Amino acid sequence: MAKQKRKQKSLLKPQSTPQADYHRHDRWFMIAKALLVLSPFVAVAYLQTAAGGGNLGLLLQQDPKITVTFLSAMAGPFTAYLLSFAQKRLYDGDAAYMMSHLVLLFAAELLLHNTLYLVMFLFLIYLVYQMTGMPPLRSLRVKWKDHFIRDLSGCFVLILFAAFCLFVSLRLGM
């Protein structure tokens, strides 16, 4: 009888779940998503000042280097969307999905030469590794066996876009 009461009391106590720990670093993910979403606005403000308050469209047509910079900045909101989608999957307990996304987003930012975002994604990779214990390369191996293309297609689109921007910037000598 006493065992049953203890068992009932233990069932009434809130159990600490691993998912509760995933929310511990939400502020860092929110900061990362905010920076990614704000990047096009910062780029437009910078380009507007570079144009001297003139026509931004004309400046984009005349200078291909500025156009590539503008396009690179426009990848930020899509990256933030992919990050938030992966974060939801982390809350569902799919650590390999989150880590794989972070690794591929890091690769895309590497191709785009965004140093701030490279450091940011390294930090997020470290946080997710700390929370889940899932190493980055192991997560890619796990996802390789489990719907690799389907689950990570958004990252591949971003990497393809980043590779295009890298190719153009190298051709322009940037």
Per-residue pLDDT of the chain (174 residues; tens, 9 = 90+): 555 555 444 443 333 344 446 667 788 889 999 999 999 999 888 888 877 777 777 777 887 888 888 888 899 999 999 999 888 888 888 888 888 889 999 999 999 988 999 999 999 999 988 888 888 888 778 777 777 777 778 889 999 999 999 999 999 887
Specify whether the backbone of 15 is left (phi greater than 0), alpha (psi in -120 to 50) or beta.
beta
105 Cβ neighbours under 8 A, 6+ residues apart: 79, 82, 83, 121, 155, 158
Q: Which helix (H) or strand (E) holds 77?
A: helix 64-91
pTM for the predicted model, two decimal places: 0.78
